[in-house]
Amino acid sequence: MAVLPRAEVDIGPSLVVSLLADQHPDLAGLPLARAGNGWDNELFRLGPDLVVRLPRRQVAELLMVAEQRWLQGLTAHLDVPTSAPLRAGRPGPGYPWHWSVCRWIDGAAGTTVPRADRAPAARALARFLVQFQQEAPADAPVSPVGRGGPLAGRDDVVRSRLATLPSLPSLPSLPSLPRLPVERLFGIWASALAAPEWSRPALWLHGDLHPGNLVLAADGTLAGVVDFGDLCSGDPATDLAAAWLVFDAAGREAFRSELDALRPSDAATWDRARGWALSMGSAMVASSDDSPDFLALGLEILSAVLED
């Protein structure tokens, strides 16, 4: 069972104001309100246009440092707003890690928008990837969990997850789960593994381009891309998995056609992308039985992988 990890530091508004007053005093007087948290970070809305992101676990410290080092330069030319740090925070009294002040992006998390209504974001997301996925330098981050690397490194764990799928309908949190054609998923995974590996220079990757890391406007268009905590370099197929992670068939077609028009990708890259989507979807299904929303997202992704 995947339970939200316990915060290792007590982060409240008074601590955030203290850090701001010490390091960015011009921002300390702005209204501050807690805006939520994820697995790795606590979020505080700061005035009308900003958000403070603070790691709640030590494991997220290196991710925050990587964002502060690289993201401003990588995102300055993008058409789509991002959560790149505008101000960098460092450890201070009562708080041991780096933290950032970022742009607040108005809109809805992609996970709150039905899959069929996300299609208006497809072409803009493709353009974002073409702009963002530039050649990475030799000292660019490498994913500690293998994103951007060969799919073969995920083979054992993915096969183990797929083997558990027939037991899914017994989960108490979502009792009426569809029975997925597991043998077809094994076949799709085998085809992805058989695709030639990426042999060109490593590109910059967002690393975790699922709907929860997209902000959508009321009309479904793309308002922003957030949470670059998995920033890494390698095979662009990892991010192209968004075709299945985010979109239905119509959105997927728009995403793929726009990306291929701007930067053609060969069939092997799309095969690997489908494999990455299967890997990520199976991870959500296998480890989100305490989170019906992410369990449902994982099942949606696997269903999309089966469509094409």
Q: How far apart are CA 21 and CA 134, in angstroms?
A: 37
Structure tokens at 148: 């951007």
pTM exceeding 0.85: yes
Q: How many CA atoms lie within 13 A of 240 on its CB side?
A: 28
Give the sign of the dihedral formed by CA 284, CA 38, CA 67, CA 225: positive
**Topology of the domain covering 13-103:** Phosphorylase Kinase; domain 1 (3.30.200)
pLDDT at 292: 78
Q: How far is CA 167 from CA 104, 179, 305, in A?
A: 41, 9, 20
Map out the domains of the chain as residue ranges: 13-103, 108-307
Cβ(171)–Cβ(295) below 8 Å: yes
pLDDT at 173: 46
Task: For the beta carbon of residue 291, count every other beta carbon within 10 angstroms.
Answer: 18
Q: How far apart are CA 22 and CA 145, in angstroms?
A: 36
CA angle 264, 239, 180 (to 5 degrees): 105
CATH class, 108-307 region:
alpha beta
pLDDT at 26: 98
Residue for token digits 């990588």? 74
pLDDT at 5: 78
Structure tokens at 172: 């108490």
Q: How far apart are CA 129 and CA 255, in angstroms?
A: 10
Q: What is the pLDDT along the chain (308 residues), one digit of tens a residue?
A: 345 678 899 999 999 999 999 999 999 999 999 998 887 899 999 999 999 999 999 999 999 999 999 999 999 999 999 999 999 999 999 999 999 999 999 999 999 999 999 999 999 999 999 999 999 999 999 998 899 999 999 999 999 999 988 665 444 444 555 677 899 999 999 999 999 999 999 999 999 999 999 999 999 999 999 999 899 999 999 999 999 999 999 999 999 999 999 999 999 999 999 999 999 999 998 876 667 788 889 999 999 999 98
Give the sign of the dihedral formed by CA 227, CA 230, CA 232, CA 235: negative
Kindly give the pairing relationship between strand 203-205 and strand 108-109: unpaired
